[in-house]
Amino acid sequence: MYPKQHLFLGAIFATALFLLFPKIGFLGASLVLISSILIDIDHYLYYVYKKRDFNLKNAYFWIIGNGKAMCSLPKNKRNQCYMEFFFLHGIEILLILFLLIKFSNYFLFIFAGVSFHLILDITHQTTYRNRIDRFSVIYDFFKYKKLTQLERGKNI
């Protein structure tokens, strides 16, 4: 899912939470929104690791290009490859955030934003990729070892 879509839907979600539960305040709603978007920092960090380039614009177009390359493959070919490894996209991160709620209620808002983001990603994956990745970081790590990495311009 594109960043603009996460921003738009995250804003709707944060606003709805604020209207339904005004006690969360502007800070709580802002944390929900920010965390629903900033979880994608792992996309950028993967690009930096893979390409040794810190240019945010290059990273954006590389990641978008890989996503388009994946979607252009027939569905049976999509199951033979992966795009990138995202270490913040998984149930394990949610578990850590859930445990941190004990120390600060702010983590509840971050937990809500990250959960919303992951739900959007899973919905997007089942629609466009015919499989679910990014549900478990550990599972994906081992699964990706058996698959070919897809990168725009390379054949599968």
Q: Are 110 and 25 in contact (CB under 8 A)?
A: no
100, with CB counted inside 10 A (0-12, 13-18, 19+), is: middle
Mean pLDDT, the chain, rounded, equals 86
The model's pLDDT over 38-90, given as tens digits with 9 standing for 90+, comes to 999 999 999 999 999 999 999 999 888 888 887 788 877 776 776 777 888 88
Is 42 contained in some domain?
yes
Q: 3-state DSSP call for residue 89?
A: coil
Can you give the pTM of this predicted structure? 0.85
The pLDDT confidence band at residue 151, using thresholds 50, 70 and 90, is: low
**Token pair of 17 as six digits:** 């939470």
Is 64 contained in some domain?
yes
Is 156 contained in some domain?
no
Find the domain containing 59 and state its range: 3-149
Is 69 contained in some domain?
yes
CA distance 75 to 129: 7
